[in-house]
Each structure stands twice: as structure tokens, then as C-alpha cells.
Structure 1
Amino acid sequence: MRELRGRTGLSLAALSARTPYSKSSWERYLNGKKLPPRGAVEALCRLAGEPAGRLVALWELADAAWSRRAAPSKGAAPAASPVPPPRVPSVPAGPPSRPPLSRAVAAVAAGVCVGVLAVGVALVFRAGEERVGGPVRGAVPSSSAVTGCRGRACDGKDPQSMFCGGAGLVETPVERTASRGQHLQVRYGTVCGAAWGRLRNGRVGDRIEVSVPGSAPRSVRVRDRFDAEGYLVTPMAAARGPRGIRLCLYPAGGAAKECVPG
């Protein structure tokens, strides 16, 4: 969830302003101090433009684990009932009774499930994550990687929700900082076989457009300050390779466009 929040570009205060949950609640959720409610998970997915299905499924596993941990005595009582109470309760000579063990097992199981949730969430969002500077060093693109689309099927779709921009699945053939500070990146998904543009430090009203020979151009506009604070990506255009991809910035106010490559 921390990575997803980073992708939105929103501060804790901004998250609080756009959701029913307070700033302090978001701090506890994102730092793992408290299991977030399902509504918070769904709200964060909406803000990031991420399909909620996979994360909600992982949340349900963690919620079940927390529920078992919160009420361990229900499962412990039937196991302990057939055992008669000891006649001499002063110093027990045998191994510890079953209820404490059951509580310990429940706590460990809950911890494991929460750990699985954390790892699963990281994998889900790393699969769709947009990384600055292309693939992680040493990562090798795999043709067997699971993505939501390939080639022409990616036309007009979101690279994040299709998991085309994960580690080792994306290249940055060219990037440049525009004259007013907007940072432009051409992105190419090696497994998805599609290109898109990415904008950082945009201004409200800015528009970027990516064009690929043989595909319709795709564009996106900075609508508000939340778009301007984070990364903004265009829909994808099918591409056979990183060559020939062009990204243009149309600044707010009608200033001259700037393109990469120039």
C-alpha cells in the first residue's frame, strides 16, 4: 500500500482530504501498525487508478487472520474441556496447557498471513509499478511475464492496470526536462509491446501526447494539482520496438510544444 500511495503522489493530508479516513489513520495503515478497513484499500486503489480485485482478495486473507487472533479462546475451549483440572494447582509439572499454545499458534498464523499480504501487495503493485529510469539493473525481461495485454490489445489501455511497467518489463529510450521544468519520459513495455509517455512536474492544463508509427496517438491532460504532484501517464500505443516513439508536451496557456526526440 505504501508503494501504491507513492504512485498517487498524494501526501497523508491529501489522502485524508480525499477519503473518509484521517491523516493519523492513514499513517497507521501505511506503516503496518493497523490492518486497514476494506474501504480504505478500495479508496486507495481508486485514487491510483488500480483495479481493486487482487488487493481486496489479499486483504480478506489478512482480515480473517486478524479475526482469528482477536478471538483465540473459541477454538481453544473445546480442546481443553475434556482434560480434568489438576488436583494440585501449585506447580504444574507437565508441558504448558493447550489454550496458551493455541493462542500462540493463532498469533503466529495471523502474523504469517499478514506477512503474506504485505509480500503479495508488494508483488501486485510492483507488477504494475512505473519506475524512473527503466528496468532495475540486472533484471531480464521475460516473455512469460503475466501482463494484461500484448501488442494491439494494449492500444488505448492504461500501462499500470495492465501491469506493463513492472521491474524488468519496461525501458526508457529517451527522457528530457522541458524548458519550464516538466520532465518527459518515453516508455516502452518490452513484454507488452506498447509505448506510452510519462510526465512529472506537470502544470494544470499541460497535455502530453505519445505517437508511434502505425498506431493512433494517445494523450492525457493534467486536470488538477493532484495530477501535477505525481506521475501522469498516457494510454498505451502498440509498438514493435523502442525506435520511432515520440512524446510531445503541449504546455498550458498555449506555449510552443516541446517533443522528445526533438
Structure 2
Amino acid sequence: MNQTPPECARLAAELRRLREHSALTLAALAEESAYSKSSWQRYLSGKALPPWLAVRGLCRLAGEPEPRMRALWELAEAEWSRRSSIRPPQTRSRDDAPADTKTVPAPPVHRRAGRRVWLVAAAVGLLTACGVVAVAATTDQGSGGGFHVSCRGAACNGRDPGVALCGVEPQTLLDLVTPTGAGLEIRYNPLCRAAWARVWNTRVRDRLTLSAHDEPQQSVTVNDPALRDAFVYTPLIAVPGPHATLTACLVTSPRPAPLCYSASAP
């Protein structure tokens, strides 16, 4: 990406403001969070989109209510997803998942309410702007205009969510933090009728798989140290029908069995 999207630059500027307000150095910020000093350097400069959990952690450290920052982050993520759609898909492993699957309960992700009415109002205004993006992203194919995804259902199997334009304004079906500290989400786009999983704050050789009934399993392996703090996501998998069960499994060292979590499609 040659130029930082304006929404991401705005988010980075707000993150820098929060860091200054917290009076934390980059080293101290790394110690107080699950993200490295080099990762924070990328997030604060706008060179990388931070995971929401990183933004939320900085809000906590700076005493900042979350709603406004959540709105800014949603705008930045939507723009980042659109820009990433022109990039070629990454090479990914498609090995079968281990047989000794172990399902564990998902730790809850606690969300703090805003403390000031004016911040909530500001967040609503920003989310209204998000709605403009969402209208473009959810215009159906064949409607004569708007945003068009490039695959549906089984035709999406194995494709990159960004390249297929399914990664713009998706629904988040599952959002949690694993016992190893990795963030994990299952996301779904109703226009594509397809889903994918993504992780961040991972380790090299961590492997994520996503499966659905009668559909080919999709997987991705973290094989580059630079990707440990970035979003790493599986290819798309078709959602066979309403309320279909989607299961994401993360294999991470030194655990002998994968951590598996399930969500139901709308």
C-alpha cells in the first residue's frame, strides 16, 4: 500500500493522542499490552491497521471511553479492506486439520460503555458515515449499481475475501481472545454467502482452519514473523445455509490440541 488511507491516518492520529495522554513510552506501552513495540510503531504511524483489541487496550490505559474510537476503527477497517482487495492473494497451506480436536469455551470479550453523552453522539455521527459505506458494500448484484462482490456460495470457496470484495463491511459472528492471547474472529458476508476466519497476536507456525458442513476446509499458517501482530485470515468458505455451523480451530505451540470455537450463520 503506497499511501495510508485517510481513515487509517485519522485513527493513527487519535491513537497517538491517546498514547500522549497516557504518558506511556512505546516500551511501556508494549509492556502494558499484548503487542510489541514494533507493532505499536506501525499502528501509531498508520502503516498497519491495529486489531480492535489493541485500540481498546490503549483506550483503557488512557481512560478513554470506547464508542468514539470504535467508530473510527470501523471506518479505518472498511477502507483498509477495500484497498487490500486489489492485492494478490497470499499463498496458504490447505492441509487437513488434526483429528484430536478439542473444543473449549470462548472467553468473553468485555466491552465498556461510554462515560459521556457527547462522545456517544460523536460515535453515532461517525457510524452514520460508516452507513454510507455499508450501503455501497451491501448493494445486491444485478441491482444496476453500487458495490458488487465477485462470487457467491460455492464459487467463493478458496478465494481471498479481499480480492472477492467479500471483506468489505462484513458481519462478525464470533469475536474472542484465546487462552494463548491471540484474537480470533469468524466473519460473514451475506452477499457472498461465504465466511472466513482471522487471527492476530499470533506466533510463527500457528495455523488457523475454518470448516462448515460438506464444504472444503480452509486454512492459513502464520509463516512470517512480520504477520504475528497483523490480521492473518483464511480463504473464503461457502456457508451451506441459514444457521449453518462454522468452526474455527487454532493450532498453536506448545498446546498439543487445537483450540476450536463455533458460531452459527444468520
Q: TM-score range by the shorter chain?
A: 0.3 to 0.5
TM-score (norm 1): 0.48
Q: Normalised by the size of structure 2, how large is the TM-score?
A: 0.47
Q: Which has the larger radius of gyration?
A: 1
